Amino acid sequence: MELVHLSRGAIPRPTLGASLRAARLDRNITLEAVAAHTKINLGFFRDLERDDLSKWPANQFYRESYLRAYAEAVGLDPDDVIDAFRSEFDPAATSDGAAIVTKPRRLTPVTIPIIVAITFVTLYSLTRWMAASSEAPASGLSEPAARQAAVEPATPSHIEVQTPEAPAPAPAVAPEDTPAPAKVEVDQLEGEMVITSTPQGARVLVNGIARGSTPARVQFLPPGTYTVRFLLPGYSAAMRNVSISPERLRVPVSATLEPVQMQRAQAPAAPSAPAVDVDGGEP
């Protein structure tokens, strides 16, 4: 951020974190309520209001997803919050021109199995190659010995002929020798929902937050339980409870909306004509 020289009586400009905290307190919303509503770690929002992003993901896309969820939960415009964040925390905006050291990218749940598979294949290929190399001398000695036995006369029966023993093959690499996959914290896992409806075009609310219309794809959701509602004019609303776990990060959600039956208004019955007394007698 650019430092602003303050003269006597000047009011310092509030930071983004201070502005967000003031807006949240003005609406009487707690950080715990924001975290419970968005299913995002409370520590991320606490660090945001302190202008400390050292524990935030280095990926700009993930950061803006957290900012958008925070803004929608507090009632602010997500685009305005993201623009303010970019202008204050964008590395290109620094005026000193110093080199910026980027943090190493964290391993994601997708890259970890790939690294483990490549390591296992490499170790397996190396073991097979070592075993083939150890068996090669044995096969090479057997052919000259067979030629010598065909040329020389028969050996007396009382003389034992010792054949060279082939060296034992190298032991195979035990599965325990393969490196174990790195442990991934639950807070770093992110899932997604693939939401569809019949008919299409229904409005989708995830935990009360609008997520577009069907078909929709909601990404970057931490593990937890979510409530998905489907709203479409002329059709009854539908609701689904969805759970995202480390073992099930991609969850399909669908609903079939029933049309609302319009009840025809019944016309009121016509009132009966009152009895008329003729000459004081009965009609």
Same topology, domains 16-93 and 188-256? Answer is no
Short-list 224, 202, 193, CA closest to 38: 224
pTM for this predicted structure: 0.32
Residue 267 has pLDDT above 90, yes or no: no
Question: How far is it, in rounded angstroms, from Cα 1 to Cα 90?
Answer: 9
- What pLDDT is stored for residue 103 in this prediction? 45
Question: How far is it, in rounded angstroms, from Cα 78 to Cα 23?
Answer: 13
Residue with structure tokens 């065909």? 150
Q: Using one digit for the tens of pLDDT, what is the confidence trace for 31-84?
A: 898 888 889 988 888 888 888 888 888 888 988 899 899 998 888 999 998 998
- What pLDDT is stored for residue 87 in this prediction? 86
**pLDDT exceeding 70 applies to what percent of the chain?**
61
Question: How far is it, in rounded angstroms, from Cα 15 to Cα 91?
Answer: 16
Instruction: Report, in angstroms and rounded to the nearest whole number, the Rg of the chain calculated over CA atoms.
Output: 38
- What pLDDT is stored for residue 3 in this prediction? 38
Fold type of domain 16-93: 434 Repressor (Amino-terminal Domain) (1.10.260)
- What pLDDT is stored for residue 105 in this prediction? 52
Least confident range from 158-162, 188-192, 268-272: namely: 158-162
Residue 30 has pLDDT above 50, yes or no: yes
Average pLDDT on 14-27 reads 87
Do the Cβ atoms of 20 and 44 come closer than 8 Å?
no
**pLDDT exceeding 90 applies to what percent of the chain?**
21
Q: Using one digit for the tens of pLDDT, what is the confidence trace for 176-213?
A: 555 555 565 656 678 899 999 999 999 999 988 989 99
Domains in the chain: boundaries:
16-93, 188-256
**CATH superfamily assigned to domain 188-256:** Immunoglobulins (2.60.40.10)
Q: Using one digit for the tens of pLDDT, what is the confidence trace for 202-254?
A: 999 998 898 999 999 998 888 989 999 999 999 999 999 999 988 888 999 99
Rounded to the nearest integer, the mean pLDDT of the chain is 74
Phi and psi of 50, rounded to 5°? Answer: -95, 0
Residue 132 has pLDDT above 90, yes or no: no
Eight-state DSSP code of residue 110: T
